[in-house]
Amino acid sequence: DSGVTQTPKHLITATGQRVTLRCSPRSGDLSVYWYQQSLDQGLQFLIQYYNGEERAKGNILERFSAQQFPDLHSELNLSSLELGDSALYFCASSVGRQGPNSPLHFGNGTRLTVT
């Protein structure tokens, strides 16, 4: 068990809808990362937060947004959903203070299916 909790595990919704994915990092971890994993692709970095502030942005669509709250949990909001948004969405956390060698710890992901 990595200590990173993601909810829900599965989400089925229709095109055009909006969903929110939630992540609770490991206790003590300040950094939260979001990744998208599609069938044909590897892990695509979406966005990273550190102690409530956005630190890095990847190939995140304008329809997607995220935030990290004062209690350090994070939410990824996906709106105007399209069929191509169907994927596994992973959250990962790291301490952030241990330097660039600190590894990421991943949750088990949320599987989003858009129909």
Give me the amino acid identity at 84: G
Q: Which of residues 50-69 bind another protein (CB under 8 A)?
A: 50, 55-56, 58
42 binds another protein (CB under 8 A): yes
- Contacts with another protein, 81-100, as mask; x by CB under 8 A: ---------x-x-xxxxxxx
Please, what is the minimum distance in Å from the beta carbon of residue 108 to another protein?
Answer: 5
Q: Taking a C-beta distance cutoff of 8 angstroms, is the pair 75, 8 a contact? A: no
Distance between CA atoms of residues 37 and 81, nearest Å = 16
Q: Taking a C-beta distance cutoff of 8 angstroms, is the pair 34, 101 a contact? A: no
Please, what is the minimum distance in Å from the beta carbon of residue 104 to another protein?
Answer: 6
Q: Which stretch in 13-21, 59-67, 75-83, 102-110 sits in contact with another protein by CB under 8 A?
A: 102-110
The count of residues interacting with another protein (CB under 8 A) is 32
DSSP 53-107: EEEEE-S--TTEEEEE-TTS-EEEEE-S--GGG-EEEEEEEE-SSS-TTPPPEE-
Residue 84 backbone dihedrals phi, psi, to 5 degrees: -70, -10
Q: Which stretch in 16-24, 40-48, 59-67, 74-82 sits in contact with another protein by CB under 8 A?
A: 40-48
What residues line the site for another protein (CB under 8 A)? 2, 4, 31, 33, 35, 41-43, 45, 48, 50, 55-56, 58, 90, 92, 94-109
